[in-house]
């Protein structure tokens, strides 16, 4: 005699209860992993910006009032304008042309965002940044401009960010400033 028995109601309730407890414990940990990933992405972008500032500054200093090579990449041409005596102009890189002010990358897409390689596209657009889960606010090509780089996807992207200013003052040679990361909104 073959008797097929299913699960009893008590067994089903116990299994559902155990699954509910596991989900309640695992979900907050999963959320923390996403937050940690956004913080790591923010710190990586900040490190890329800091490294790019140093490299572009050195290239701009070395190329001040010098004829530059042809720029590679889209939208670039032969003999771009020189970096002038006050550190303003363009610097050619392996990827293409970057704009500089006071020998530092400008606080915009054509400057620091392109230099840091925050996207795989050169020159990047706001849509390219959004595809990489980045956003920017503020910025510009002037000495005192400040660009906020944000990592999106968190509860408050404005508080998952850092700032970049190409120069902290108007004096020639004033260094760029990369602010401390804000992670409360990641």
* Tokens standing for residue 99: 């704009």
DSSP characters for 148-179? EEEE-SSS-GGGSEEEEES-SSSSTTPPPEEP
**Secondary structure of residue 36 in the 3-state scheme:** helix
Asked whether 68 and 89 are in contact (CB, 8 A), the reply is no
Q: What is the pLDDT of residue 4?
A: 67
Q: Where are the domains of the chain?
A: 9-178
Q: What is the pLDDT of residue 77?
A: 52
pTM of structure: 0.79
Q: What is the pLDDT of residue 129?
A: 93
Q: How many helices (H) and strands (E) does the chain have?
A: 3, 7
pLDDT, tens digit, 9 for 90 and up, residues 17-54 = 988 888 888 777 666 788 889 999 999 999 999 999 99
Q: What is the pLDDT of residue 106?
A: 93
* Tokens standing for residue 21: 């407890």
What number of other Cβ atoms are within 10 A of residue 107's Cβ?
Answer: 30
Q: What is the pLDDT of residue 175?
A: 85
Q: What is the pLDDT of residue 75?
A: 46
Using 50 as the pLDDT threshold, list the residues of the chain that sit under it: 74-75
Q: What is the pLDDT of residue 34?
A: 87
Q: What is the pLDDT of residue 182?
A: 96
- In the chain the first and final C-alpha atoms are separated, in Å, by 62
DSSP characters for 24-90? HHHHHHHHHHHHHHHHHHHHHHHHHHHHHHHHHHHHHHHTBTSPPPPPPSTT--SSPPPB-TTS-EE
């Amino acid at each position: 005699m073959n008797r097929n028995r299913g699960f009893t109601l008590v067994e089903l309730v116990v299994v559902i209860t155990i699954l509910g407890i596991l989900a309640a414990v695992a979900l907050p940990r999963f959320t923390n992993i996403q937050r940690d990933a956004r913080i790591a992405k923010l710190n990586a972008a900040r490190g890329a910006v800091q490294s790019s500032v140093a490299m572009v500054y050195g290239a701009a200093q070395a190329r001040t009032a010098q004829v530059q090579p042809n720029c590679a990449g889209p939208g670039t041409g032969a003999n771009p304008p020189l970096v002038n005596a006050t550190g303003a102009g363009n610097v050619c890189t392996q990827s293409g042309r970057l704009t500089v002010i006071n020998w530092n990358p400008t606080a915009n897409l054509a400057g620091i965002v392109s230099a840091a390689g925050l996207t795989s596209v050169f020159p990047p657009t706001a849509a390219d940044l959004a595809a990489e889960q980045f956003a920017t606010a503020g910025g510009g090509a002037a000495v005192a401009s400040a660009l906020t780089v944000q990592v999106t996807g968190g509860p408050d992207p404005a508080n998952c960010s850092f700032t970049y200013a190409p120069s902290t003052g108007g004096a020639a040679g004033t260094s760029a400033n990369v602010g401390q990361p804000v992670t409360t909104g990641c």
